[in-house]
Amino acid sequence: MTDSTINISKKAFFKIAVLLFWLAIWQAIYLLVQNNILIPAPLEVLSRLKELVLLRSFWVSLLFTISRVFAGVCLALVLGTALGFLSGLNRFCYEILSPLVVAIKSTPVMSFIIVALVWFGSGNVPVFICFLIAFPIIWTNIWEGITNVNIKLLEMARVYRVPRAKILTKIYLQEIKPYFISGFLTIIGMGWKATVTAEVLSHPVHAVGSRLYDARVFINSVDLFAFTLSIIGISLLIENIIIRLFAGSGGSRTNSVS
């Protein structure tokens, strides 16, 4: 058995041990409370989750929620990156957009959801809320990346009359890459939370958030916990896939424009 295989086995064993530890804590709380409405039994929730994954309606709701997260995050990535880039290069653009970003950060999500319910249909509210939560994060990260670009590299590029296109690709884009990846990973988790929260309140036909709302209305704690576990599981899976895609590139920066 190679060293890499041993390390992978150790990591897998450690993760399983941590999972079992928290399941044991959950079981202990259940036994202490002795109230299935407040805290359902872990085995009962896992059994219900096993039933849910065999239902077509579960996957339809999950796919609709994923599509809303994807739409909101992509919209935030495009606009946040473009406007963050412009704000980093142009002080006037920063002064115009900065108050808007601060206002979005400071306003309670609930206020945005209520306004969005007036503006949009129930299916579009979660996309809008996901975008609003994700946009300031990406904008701020890209702006910070631009403002922290190595000045010596830019001066060297001007001295050697490096074409602007190469300055853009070899300096700016490489320098902001870690900031972009960091922001991207952050908004994946935030996007899930914001989208599901908006779904609970807007109650679209196909949505995991709507199923959470139904579970609350019917005081079905088992379903509530089961759907919550599914959200956590899918969110972690997507986040790990993205981390693997970006593995090794998050902290890489170039020191050459050649």
Tens digit of pLDDT for each residue in 139-192? 999 999 888 877 777 677 776 676 777 777 667 778 888 888 888 888 888 888
For residue 194, pLDDT over 70 is answered with yes
- Would you place residue 198 in the very low, low, confident or very high pLDDT band (cuts 50, 70, 90)? very high
Locate 163 and state its tokens: 């074409």
- Domain boundaries, given as residue ranges, for the chain: 1-34, 40-245
Q: What's this model's pTM, rounded to 2 decimal places?
A: 0.81
Convert the pLDDT of each residue in 73-82 to its tens digit.
999 999 999 9
Model pLDDT, residue 45: 94
Rounded distance, CA 55 to CA 28, Å?
A: 30
Give me the residue label for tokens 């086995």: 9
**CA 131 to the chain's CA centroid:** 11
Convert the pLDDT of each residue in 124-147 to its tens digit.
899 999 999 999 999 999 999 888
Q: ∠ at Cα 94 (70, 144), nearest 5°?
A: 65
For residue 227, pLDDT over 50 is answered with yes
40-245: CATH topology? MetI-like fold (1.10.3720)
Model pLDDT, residue 71: 94
Model pLDDT, residue 160: 66
For residue 251, pLDDT over 50 is answered with no
